Structure 1
């Protein structure tokens, strides 16, 4: 992607995030987002097929940057690194709370971001497992280890999205949510409540 395309992408991401904070992304048109970004409709289609696709790309760009930070330093203590990036993800959700409240909802215009977040968390877990920074220590006689690992990453991912959805419906601050979340995690996941890095 050249510098011009990068600038257009940044403007489109900023525009869709602003507009989606005000109303459901299903109500946004390509023309509205392009006008907000100050680009032509044809430029919009160079980056996304629809406002919903653009919104997911904008959110994932922020989430991917956080994951890259987690995976870049392989000398950091894993529980501390995982807890730190979890806090950063929650702050990302908090910044875009209006978008996530709608996107994680169960109504006719909600739910579109559940799969996006779940897939992101699953991929993070998979990369941690592949790098041997996390080990799934679960006994399931007769079930292949790779199947158990896959089920475990799905369990963590969808459970985390559920926790976030519940958090957005309440009034806990990030630190209190981290305490509750850590207590809910299985003991083998690196941010469990028994680890010193999760104690306040």
Structure 2
């Protein structure tokens, strides 16, 4: 990406974040984003197909910049904490920092593009985690092939996490990121969590 494109993308990011913090994301128009960013509609369409799609892509970039991905985690933490404690806090910190935007995407669930973006982000990390540590998955003899079982396990975990995030965003008393992270992890099956046997009391 050249300097001019990067500058335009930065203007678009700032504009759409500001607008999405003030109104429901499905009501944002291309014209108002272009106007706020100081660009033409044609320039907008060189970067995205719609405001909500562009918003989702910017939020995904923010998530990708968070650091160590789920796919780089060890199988076990060596402590009473889950291997997912830190990644869960980072994810929920991102949601909290952009809470106005995510709240303005609810009706009552997240707008499709943002819901799918979060699900994809979580599921990609979990797929990599299972590929790296296949021994952690439960043995389910008979029935579906192992690959299909893993796909379903990942989809269930991803959808559950996004559902928990939606419930957190809708709550009147959200509490802290730490409290929310503990709650999500408490809802997860032990085999995912990677606590050492000696550490679990």
Give the TM-score, by structure 2 length: 0.83
**Residue 143 to residue 73, structure 1, CA distance change in 2 (3 Å):** closer
Within-5 A mapping of 1:57-68: 57-66=57-66
Deviation sequence 1:31-87 (CA, Å, 0-9, x none): 211221222322211110111111111111111222x52268667966765321211
* CA RMSD of superposed structures (Å): 3.0
* Alignment check: 8 A CA contact 1:179 1:193 kept: no
**Residue 195 to residue 182, structure 1, CA distance change in 2 (3 Å):** farther
**Residue 173 to residue 71, structure 1, CA distance change in 2 (3 Å):** closer
Relative contact order, CA 8 A, sep 6+: which one is greater? 2
Deviation sequence 1:150-173 (CA, Å, 0-9, x none): 000001000001111111122221
Shift in Å, 1:193: 10
Corresponding position: 1:180 with 2:183: yes
Q: 2-side partners of 1:35 and 1:177: how far apart? A: 37
**SS in structure 2 of the partner of residue 189 of structure 1:** helix
2:14 matched residue in structure 1: 14
Within-5 A mapping of 1:63-74: 63-66=63-66, 69-70=68-69
**Residue 176 to residue 18, structure 1, CA distance change in 2 (3 Å):** same
Deviation sequence 1:95-126 (CA, Å, 0-9, x none): 1212222324337x945422221122111111
Is the deviation greater in 2-11 or in 54-63?
Answer: 2-11
2:88 matched residue in structure 1: 86
Q: Which runs of 5+ in 1 are unaligned?
A: none
State the number of aligned residues: 196
* Alignment check: 8 A CA contact 1:25 1:52 kept: yes
Judging by fraction of residues, say which structure has more helix.
1
**SS in structure 2 of the partner of residue 22 of structure 1:** coil
Deviation sequence 1:119-157 (CA, Å, 0-9, x none): 221111112222337732242432211111000000100
2:100 matched residue in structure 1: 98
* Alignment check: 8 A CA contact 1:103 1:114 kept: no
Give the TM-score, by structure 1 length: 0.83
Within-5 A mapping of 1:159-178: 159-170=160-171, 171-178=174-181
* Alignment check: 8 A CA contact 1:56 1:116 kept: yes
**SS in structure 1 of the partner of residue 191 of structure 2:** coil
Q: 1-side partners of 2:86 and 2:167: how far apart? A: 20
1:43 matched residue in structure 2: 43
